Chain A
Amino acid sequence: SQTIHQWPATLVQPVGSPLSLECTVEGTSNPNLYWYRQAAGRGLQLLFYSVGIGQISSEVPQNLSASRPQDRQFILSSKKLLLSDSGFYLCAWSDTSGSFGTQYFGPGTRLLVL
Chain B
Amino acid sequence: GQNIDQPTEMTATEGAIVQINCTYQTSGFNGLFWYQQHAGEAPTFLSYNVLDGLEEKGRFSSFLSRSKGYSYLLLKELQMKDSASYLCAVRDSGGNNRKLIWGLGTSLAVNP
Please determine whether B42 and A106 come into contact, CB atoms closer than 8 angstroms: yes
Please determine whether B33 and A102 come into contact, CB atoms closer than 8 angstroms: yes
B100 interface residue (CB < 8 Å to A): yes
Total cross-chain contacts (CB, 8 A): 45
Stretch from A13-21, A44-52, A64-72, A74-82 forming part of the interface with B: A44-52
* A-side contacts of B45, CB under 8 Å: 102-104
Q: Which of A52-110 contact B (CB under 8 A)?
A: 90, 94, 100-108, 110
Please determine whether A100 and B31 come into contact, CB atoms closer than 8 angstroms: yes
Q: Is the interface of B mostly helix, strand, loop or mixed?
A: loop
Given A101-B97, A102-B48, check contact A43 B105 (CB 8 Å).
yes
* B-side contacts of A44, CB under 8 Å: 43, 87, 102
* B-side contacts of A103, CB under 8 Å: 33, 45, 100
- How distant is A85 from chain B, measured CB to nearest CB, in Å? 19
Q: Which of B83-108 contact A (CB under 8 A)?
A: 87, 91, 97-100, 102-105
Contact of A46 among B43, B50, B99, B104 (CB under 8 A): B99
CA separation between A46 and B91, bound complex, in Å? 13
Measured CB to CB, the nearest residue on chain B to A101 is B91
Contact of A94 among B50, B98, B105 (CB under 8 A): B98
Chain A interface size range: 10 to 19
Q: Which of B16-48 contact A (CB under 8 A)?
A: 30-31, 33, 40-45, 48
Please determine whether A42 and B42 come into contact, CB atoms closer than 8 angstroms: no
Interface residues of A (CB under 8 A from B): 32, 42-44, 46, 49, 51, 90, 94, 100-108, 110
- Not counting A32-B98, A103-B45, a sample of 17 additional A-B residue pairs whose C-beta atoms are within 8 angstroms of each other reads A43-B105, A44-B87, A46-B100, A49-B98, A51-B98, A94-B98, A100-B31, A101-B30, A101-B31, A101-B97, A102-B33, A102-B45, A103-B33, A104-B45, A106-B42, A108-B41, A108-B42
Return 25 A-B CB contacts under 8 Å, by A number.
A43-B102, A43-B103, A43-B104, A43-B105, A44-B43, A44-B87, A46-B99, A46-B100, A49-B99, A90-B42, A90-B43, A100-B31, A101-B30, A101-B97, A101-B100, A102-B33, A102-B45, A102-B48, A103-B45, A105-B43, A105-B44, A106-B42, A107-B41, A108-B42, A110-B40
